[in-house]
A = this chain, B = another copy of it.
Amino acid sequence: MPTITALETRDVRFPTSRFLDGSDAMNPDPDYSAAYLVLHTDERTPDGEPLAGYGLAFTIGRGNDVQTVAVAALAHHVVGLDLDDVCGDLGTFARRLTDDSQLRWLGPEKGVMHMAIGAVVNAAWDLASRRAGKPLWRFLADLSPAEIVACVDWRYLSDALTAEEALAMLEDAAVGREARRAHLEQHGYPAYTTSPGWLGYSDDKLATLCREAVADGYRIIKLKVGASLEDDVRRLGVARSAVGPDVRLAIDANQRWDVAEAVGWLSELERFDLAWIEEPTSPDDILAHAAIRAAVTVPVSTGEHTQNRTMFKQLMQARAVDLIQIDAARVGGVNENLAVLLLARKFSIPVFPHAGGVGLCEMVQHLAMADFVAISGSMEDRAIEYVDHLHDHFVDPVRVEGGRYRAPVAPGMGARMWQRSVDDHAFPDGPAWQAPAPVPAMPVPARVPAEGHALAEGAVV
């Protein structure tokens, strides 16, 4: 029988702090990093390549070693499994990891251990969709309603959503699935950009990047806020002048405020006609989000640090958010994100997936697209975050054109990195970390003619 033969891990880090990319009020100097893993198998693809599954947990530097050890700690649950069993029942596969009675103590279902589970679960979905020869979004959208329901761990959800209700919602959503798939393949999925808005950038750079973003087709631009109210007012003025009245501006405080501080700050900023405030306070604080939402006119959101489906459920039950972010690498993988997408449909909450980082755009686009085709049926009232860096380290990088994500066509979930990128950025011994002076963050040529890339270029309508 074909089996998973090994779980390989690598500690991969990019020295992004040298350029202030990704700087915000809570994260002044991130080195975008990945606890990267490969599920090796003894099967081959139709092309004769070794079949494998790729996944990662995203971190921002220190601690990526801890995250990598946590991924490796799951090997005993995975190595030796029958590929047919894994690919045929990814619900049972994911629950095997979250239900480990001893590992559960380290969360439960939160933090380092849960992100490790998410990385391994995502790698298994990558493996299953590669084996099926489909991009993950398509693999998911082709599952039956009952198969999707079987992927979800329903524990702790039944006071808001039951498996039976979810099945009924998914059966409703099955109507029009083929037309939505064709629409997606033709038109892509809306993107929004955070690239102009990092706190470390000058006003001139902010204005220039905002104008470029509008010219590139973006209809929403997000700025980081929360370090200085005076600076935020000035920077939002700069941005609003640069983009005109019709482009939406969102802001992100990265957990900076208490309730009263958030309300005071937002009262000064709401005149800029904001699309949303993201992470105004602790991601754990459901009641604080509800209190802030009740006091300001800016739509409230959170989610990139929301640890699991139980917290998302409460954010919706408490009417604490107007919209949410999901993140491909924070919760327990595809399965738990399916639960969150089902909750969002139940509560009519639009989803604006969090991305950027390393591989987050590549992965999360699949979830948003599967949601459009098979779950919510909506796309034009939402958008996937896009940040334009580090994509060239990936074998199947995202393609964003005219402010929209093009639907991926290469099989898998998108987390596979070039071997050279992995080796060059291995921490602490890779060449990128040996250089006495800053090295370019993207050593791979910008447009490498790779098989996945060429396939993607050719197949989208």
Most buried by B among A105, A113, A291: A105
Interchain CB contact under 8 A, B111 and A114: yes
**Which residues from chain B contact A307 at a C-beta distance below 8 Å?**
110-111, 284
- For A156, the chain B residues whose CB sits under 8 A away are 258, 281-282, 284-285, 288
With a CB–CB cut-off of 8 A, which chain B residues contact A288?
156, 159
User: How far is A102 from B61 in the complex, measured between Cα atoms in Å?
Assistant: 6
How far apart are A103's CB and chain B's nearest CB, in angstroms? 5
Q: Give bound CA distance, A66 to B106, whole Å.
A: 9
**Contact residues in B for A60 (Cβ distance below 8 Å):** 101-102, 105
Shortest distance between the CB of A385 and any CB in chain B (Å):
16
Contact B258 A286 (CB under 8 A): no
CB-based contact A111/B101 at 8 Å: no
Most chain B CB within 10 A, of A60, A66, A317, is at A66
A residues 350-399 in Cβ contact with B at 8 Å: none
Whether B101 and A29, one on each chain, are in contact in the complex, defined by CB atoms closer than 8 angstroms, is: yes
A327, B59: Cα distance in complex, Å = 28
A308 and B284 form a contact (CB under 8 A):
yes
Q: Which of B28, B59, B105, B287 contacts A105 (CB 8 A)?
A: B59
Which residue from B27, B66, B259, B261 sits with its C-beta under 8 Å from A104?
B27
Interface check A155, CB cutoff 8 A: yes
Copies in the complex: 2
CB of A318 within 8 Å of the partner chain: yes
Which of chain B's residues have a CB closer than 8 A to the CB of A313? Answer: 285
For A308, list chain B residues within 8 Å (CB): 284
Distance A102 CA – B108 CA, assembled complex (angstroms)? 22
Q: A305 an interface residue at 8 Å Cβ cutoff?
A: yes
By size class, the interface of chain A is 35 or more
A100 close to chain B: CB less than 8 A: yes
Chain A positions 240 through 275: 1 when the CB is less than 8 Å from some CB of chain B, otherwise 0: 000000000000000100111100000000000000
A67-82 at interface with B (beta carbon < 8 Å):
67, 69-70, 73
A106's nearest neighbour on chain B, judged by CB, is B63
Identify A101's interface contact among B26, B109, B259, B281, CB under 8 A. Answer: B26
- As a 0/1 sequence over residues 279 to 323 of chain A, the CB contacts with chain B under 8 angstroms (1 = contact) are 001111111100100000000000001011011011001100000
Contacts of A336 in B (CB 8 A): none
* B residues less than 8 Å from A287 (CB atoms): 159, 286, 314, 317-318
**Contact: A101 with B258, CB < 8 Å?**
no
Contact B110 A113 (CB under 8 A): no
Please, how many angstroms separate the alpha-carbon atoms of A61 and B105 in the complex? 9
Q: With A63-B73, A66-B70, A311-B284 in contact, do A111 and B106 touch (Cβ < 8 Å)?
A: yes
CB pairs A–B below 8 angstroms (8 shown) = A63-B73, A65-B69, A70-B112, A107-B111, A108-B255, A108-B305, A286-B286, A287-B317
Those 7 A-B pairs whose CB atoms lie nearest each other, nearest first: A111-B111, A112-B112, A61-B102, A62-B102, A159-B259, A158-B258, A156-B282
11 more A-B contacts (CB under 8 A) besides A156-B258, A287-B314? A30-B102, A60-B105, A63-B105, A66-B69, A108-B282, A111-B114, A156-B285, A159-B258, A159-B288, A286-B287, A287-B318
